[in-house]
Amino acid sequence: MINIVLFGKPGAGKGTQAEFLKERYNLTHLSTGDIFRFNIKNETELGKLAKSYMDNGDLVPDQVTIKILEDTVNKNPNTKGFLFDGFPRTLAQAEALDAFLSTKNWEVAATIALEADDEILIQRLLERGKTSGRPDDQDQVKIRNRYQEYNEKTAPLMEYYNKQNKFYPVNGIGTIAEITERLSAVVERL
Ligand code: AMP
């Protein structure tokens, strides 16, 4: 069992890298953003609620997000490990994740952060917005709000995991393959 948190600002490449890592290490990819988008597409109650936050680049409330995370983990009891992508994003979520995993005698093995400069990432998101159809990728104001949410609420998690000796920053600039190798080098050492 090996649980990894893939950490990084919006546009850092978490989703792209998760696709490679889940294959390589046989992990279950769990993206809260993907779960919310699936629910928006299917017009569920959760989708309607999530949309009201996501469209503005605000975080979905912890209570809702933590419940979804726990339900999804519970649906995969035989996994070899999770690759958490976009979760946790607040201290309350990180604490809830630790508490929840410990009830199963599991834990977060490592938090691997994809690092890149804000201005590069904002340009990348605007490019992605042209094809992704994501409203939160198409508007500079919304994108900047997502960065503000990250800086205020998510960035403190670096210290949270660093204190537990579980924080591994990785240079997020390079080709997709180069970055996959950097991330894999961390996983191999765990
Ligand atoms: P992502 O696909 O990870 O970039 O997430 C897109 C949006 O979904 C975010 O901007 C938030 O509105 C929402 N979201 C995804 N994961 C979380 C989370 N862990 N906590 C709160 N909101 C989230």
Residue 99 in domain = yes
Cα 148 to Cα 20, 43, 45, 74: the distances in Å are 29, 28, 27, 32
Residue 161 in domain = yes
Pocket test of ligand 1: the residue of 7, 17, 36 to mutate, having most ligand atoms within 8 Å of its CB, is 36
What was the pLDDT predicted at 135? 87
Closest ligand 1 atom to the C-alpha of 87?
A: 19
Least confident interval from 6-15, 31-40, 78-87, 133-142: 133-142
DSSP 85-136: ES---SHHHHHHHHHHHHTTT--EEEEEEEE--HHHHHHHHHHHHHHH--GG
Residue 74: is its pLDDT beyond 90?
A: yes
- 53 touches ligand 1 (CB under 6 Å): yes
Q: Which pTM value belongs to this model?
A: 0.95
Residue 188: is its pLDDT beyond 90?
A: yes
**Tell me, what CATH number does 145's domain have?**
3.40.50.300
Nearest Cα residue to atom 12 of ligand 1: 54
Residues 6 or more apart from 42 whose CB is under 8 A from it?
Answer: none
Cβ(170)–Cβ(115) below 8 Å: yes
Cβ(170)–Cβ(116) below 8 Å: no
How confident is the model over 147-185, as pLDDT tens digits?
A: 999 999 999 999 999 999 999 999 999 999 999 999 999
Number of domains forming the structure of the chain: 1
Which residue has tokens 């991330």? Answer: 183
Which amino acid belongs to residue 72? T
Give the residue numbers spanning the domain of 20: 4-182
Residue 133: is its pLDDT beyond 90?
A: no
Cα of 88 to ligand 1 centre, how many Å?
9
Closest ligand 1 atom to the C-alpha of 86?
A: 3
